[in-house]
Amino acid sequence: MPTKDIAGVTVEVNEEGYLTDPTQWTQAVGEAIAVEEGISLMTEEHWKLVHFLQKDYAENGVMPTIRRVKSTGGIPVKELYALYPGGPLKKSSKIAGLPKPASCI
């Protein structure tokens, strides 16, 4: 398994750069990945989605869909795209240290 140094931590990643072990995630790792993904400042709204994804994944073992994020997480779809342009679940799951959602290409 390839590794990558992120925020001074060596983590295991897959070929697309997603962490393969969510326990290696820290907020500093998430912030560094966000910068790599073009998000220079993680706001409280950004972290709300990250923490929702982590909690939902831990409880269900699968990545939630955008529909689930909207209905269960209470985050409107327009807001998701504003916070994470170019693929809100793809980017936010990477920042959260979680697998790439199956719905993302």
d(CA 80, CA 95): 14
Catalytic residue, from 7, 9, 32, 104: name it.
104
Beta bridge partners of 11: 4
Q: Which contacts (CB < 8 Å, 24+ apart) does range 26-30 have?
A: 29/97, 30/95, 30/96, 30/97
User: Among this protein's residues, is 5 annotated catalytic?
Assistant: no
Task: Note whether 84 and 17 are within 8 A (CB).
Answer: no
Catalytically active residues, by annotation? 104
